[in-house]
Structure 1
Amino acid sequence: MEKHQPAAIQYGLGAVLLWSTVATAFKLSLEHLSPAQLLFYASITTWLLLFVILLLKKQLNQVLPAFKASPIRFIQLGLINPALYYLILFEAYDLLPAQQAQTLNYTWAITLSLLAVPFLGHKLTKYDALALILAYFGAAIISTQGQLTELNFTSTLGVALALISTVLWAIYWIINTKNTAKPIVSLFLCFSVGIPVIALVMTVQGQWQTPSTEGLIGAIYVGLFEMGITFILWLYALKKATNTSQVSMLIFISPFLSLYFIYLFLGESIHPATIIGLSFIVVGLVSQQILNKKKMGSE
């Protein structure tokens, strides 16, 4: 693919804009669907979208060989994403205000740095440690709404689930580092593995009731713009980029824009602690990215 930085920025901004709407979409959809129902119908939407894309790109014939080459890996990946990760994340959104769930989930990149030490043999730099302290201090501010000494959580279970989801997402990307299949083929296989698991959860929970129109529209939106089209836009942004760091920095716009949409469409009053805590998280992530890059450049 031909490199073109302005196009990369446009793709990246499109992805960021869409990602910024999904916390609101999660919360609105969960008013009409259970977490398992939302995940099932969203996943079916994503699977169909990926199927059409692979069909148009004439890459469907790569799916079975890719699975045969690494069946255990794709089973692991599919069990995590979409199955376990989104089930737990949607449960967190069901229990917490959207502003808390989305900002806590944003610490997954720090969790990835931490887990990369035992799983990938990476070294934890002093900048990683600083980012970790800042990010989790920010998470504590958000979780307690600024009442750090009282540890009075809006929902202790919700906070725990949101943080567990970051661990699962980090593990997904760690396993994915050894994946050599094309990204869209890989994602299609993940959803092919995950959907039967989600269907089993639906059966066990007895949740095969006909969804409402509002719930189904919400699930389709989530399937398209959280799990599908946005991923492809981001992929194109990275492929088009001549400077990937410029593109990757765009992602830091997303949580603040997401808070605006949460306020606008959900009517949540954004707690000052959410802004303060999110600022700690973003400063931690940005400093980690910039300082580690400077260190590598000086070596």
Structure 2
Amino acid sequence: MQSQSKAYAYGLAAVLAWSTVASAFKISLAHLSPAQLVLYASAASLLCLLGLLAVQGRLPELAPALRRHWRASLIFGAVNPALYYLILFQAYALLPAQEAQAINYTWALTMSLLAVPLLKQKLQRRDIAAALVCYLGVLVIGTRGQLLELRFSDSLGVALALASTLLWAGYWIFNARDTREPVIGLTLNFAFSLPLSLAWCAYTGQLGPVAWQGLAGAAYVGAFEMGFTFVLWLTAMKLTPSTARIANLIFLSPLLSLALIHFLIGEAILPSTLVGLGLILSGLALQKLAPRAKPAAALSADGGS
């Protein structure tokens, strides 16, 4: 019981942190381009992870892990954080935060659908039903309830938000086979992705001076979306005797996130967002009733928010 209580504490702390990041994305993007936010947030996250390893006395583990796994670290780092967050932040730049974060929660369903061609898993009837319900929710959000007109609030933004779920789900499917220790692996991913993000910003002329508010926002995103919060969630997963109990906590995040989006950013929460998010969460709940195990366990439950 004590172990489960600690697991709940770590899990709730992670969920609370993830609930703030949609607002943090939008606030930061008022001062930074998506590519700049990826760059500075990745740098902040790498510093956080290196600091954590230093406190734990584990920095010497990095060099041998780098020699053994540099190829995997380069590939994983190029996908996440470099490409995934570039696409996700561009979606947030184009869409209201409430719409982008709601659509992003369909990543769990995307993972099950991708597992069919990638892991040769069979598609269950419940998966098909969950897909229909979830993507109906996306349609409601993207059209702001104007289903018959099929006129999206921002077609490119919706497409990018959905594309980000493909990257995130694919990343975690392949990450399930990763033999690296999770925190060491994540640190190496950021170490390899940082030069890629820097090169992209240099190539596109985005290395000029930026406002301190943007840097502060990027530091927050790096710490609480990409860095420490992952460790909190991982710790919760290790402490709990039932990963399902902790994984279910993630359903609190979108509701808390909507409240923060309203009060911190000032967005009026649209009825279509509430209806669409309700459909998405209902589809995900239906999917969880499926008897087969899902790939890449609840370790990946944040989805990039």
- TM-score range for the pair, normalised by the shorter chain length: over 0.9
Q: What is residue 269 of structure 1 aligned with on the other side?
A: 268
CA distance in 2 between counterparts of 1:281 and 1:168 reads 19
Structure-to-structure mapping, 1:32-181, within 5 angstroms? 32-181=31-180
Equivalent pair of 1:3/1:239 in contact (CA under 8 Å): no
The structural deviation recorded for 1:208 is 1.1
CA distance in 2 between counterparts of 1:171 and 1:237 reads 23
- State how many pairs are aligned: 293
Q: Is 1:15 aligned with 2:14?
A: yes
Q: Is 1:237 aligned with 2:236?
A: yes
Q: CA separation of 1:227/1:275 partners in 2, compared to 1, >3 Å: closer, same or farther?
A: same
Q: What is the percentage of aligned positions where both structures have the same residue?
A: 49
SS of match in other structure, 2:289: helix
Equivalent pair of 1:25/1:221 in contact (CA under 8 Å): yes
Cα deviation digits, residues 68-112 of structure 1 (max 9, x gap): 333332222101111000000000000000001001111011111
The structural deviation recorded for 1:64 is 3.1
Q: What is residue 260 of structure 1 aligned with on the other side?
A: 259
CA distance in 2 between counterparts of 1:11 and 1:71 reads 31
CA distance in 1 between counterparts of 2:47 and 2:137 reads 38
Structure 1 portions without partners, runs of 5+: 295-299
Q: What is residue 297 of structure 1 aligned with on the other side?
A: none
The structural deviation recorded for 1:122 is 1.6
CA distance in 1 between counterparts of 2:122 and 2:66 reads 32
The structural deviation recorded for 1:60 is 2.2
Structure-to-structure mapping, 1:19-30, within 5 angstroms? 19-30=18-29
CA distance in 2 between counterparts of 1:117 and 1:186 reads 26
Structure-to-structure mapping, 1:198-209, within 5 angstroms? 198-209=197-208
The structural deviation recorded for 1:260 is 0.5
Q: What is the identity, as a one-letter code, of the residue corresponding to 1:74?
A: S
The structural deviation recorded for 1:136 is 0.8
TM-score, length-scaled by structure 2: 0.93
Q: What is the identity, as a one-letter code, of the residue corresponding to 1:23?
A: A
CA distance in 2 between counterparts of 1:122 and 1:73 reads 24
TM-score, length-scaled by structure 1: 0.95
The structural deviation recorded for 1:65 is 2.7
Structure 2 portions without partners, runs of 5+: 294-305
Q: What is residue 222 of structure 1 aligned with on the other side?
A: 221
CA distance in 2 between counterparts of 1:87 and 1:94 reads 11
Q: What is residue 296 of structure 2 aligned with on the other side?
A: none
Equivalent pair of 1:3/1:240 in contact (CA under 8 Å): no
Equivalent pair of 1:103/1:255 in contact (CA under 8 Å): yes
